[in-house]
């Protein structure tokens, strides 16, 4: 069984639980993640890292978060994963959720800035999408329905335009021809057997 040493629980390693039927001593269908305080759905088999003797659990995604993170709402300093037991309550500066009092936060002490784990998870996912889009935009794409010598490039900003494939006008991500005034929705560009 996979184990991690997590900064939140120095007493014992946390073990990855993917099959809750094999775990003894858990009498509930749902337990709370000690990181984000959201439910871990045992009945749906949601994976989590846990310490059974201490009744201490983290969603798998929460447990794998970095110990520090620079959020675009607070680019001045890295935020550190911090336990909130020392304060009576705190508020997330990103989603404005107020009166949070348990679990963990990403915190900048000098600036008194907190971001809840859910907001950091969302920011990490957004960053991953942005990196994937940048990688896709660096690849020149030839489309079978367009001039064979022309290449298309993915534009990193969505825009309202009329697609030369489906003739609809809407806001979307698009490919633009590097050599002429040809525009095509990202989704239309990947449709099979499209002839324009």
Residue 195: per-residue pLDDT: 47
Q: Render pLDDT for 110-162 as a digit per residue (tens, 0 to 9).
A: 999 999 988 999 999 999 988 888 888 888 888 887 888 999 988 887 788 89
Are 42 and 81 contained in the same domain?
no
This prediction has a pTM of 0.69
- Residue 79 three-state SS: strand
* 152 within some domain: yes
Domain count across the chain: 3
More confident residue, 86 or 35: 35
* 131 within some domain: no
Instruction: Read off the pLDDT of each residue in 166-171 and give the average, rounded to a whole number.
Output: 88
Q: How far is the C-alpha of 48 from the C-alpha of 66, rounded, in Å?
A: 16
Residue 15: per-residue pLDDT: 93
Percent of the chain clearing pLDDT 90 (strictly above): 32
* 45 within some domain: yes
Residue 187 CB neighbours (<10 A): 13
| Residue 59 belongs to domain spanning | 3-63
């Amino acid at each position: 069984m996979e184990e991690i040493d997590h900064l939140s629980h120095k007493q014992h390693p946390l073990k990855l639980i993917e099959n809750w039927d094999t775990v003894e001593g858990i009498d509930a269908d749902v337990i709370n993640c000690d990181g984000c305080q959201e439910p871990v759905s045992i009945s749906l088999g949601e994976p989590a890292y846990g310490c059974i003797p201490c009744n201490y659990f983290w969603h798998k995604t929460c447990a794998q978060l970095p110990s520090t993170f620079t959020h675009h709402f607070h680019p001045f300093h890295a935020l550190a994963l911090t336990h909130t037991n020392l304060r009576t309550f705190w508020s997330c500066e990103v989603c404005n959720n107020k009166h949070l009092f348990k679990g963990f936060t990403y915190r900048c002490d000098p600036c008194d800035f907190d971001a809840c784990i859910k907001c950091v998870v969302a920011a990490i996912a957004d960053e991953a999408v942005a990196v994937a889009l940048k990688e896709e935009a660096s690849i020149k794409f030839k489309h079978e329905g367009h001039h064979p010598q022309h290449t298309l490039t993915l534009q990193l900003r969505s825009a309202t335009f009329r697609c030369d494939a489906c003739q609809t006008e809407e806001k979307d991500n698009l490919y633009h021809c590097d050599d002429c005034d040809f525009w095509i929705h990202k989704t239309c560009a990947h449709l099979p057997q499209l002839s324009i």
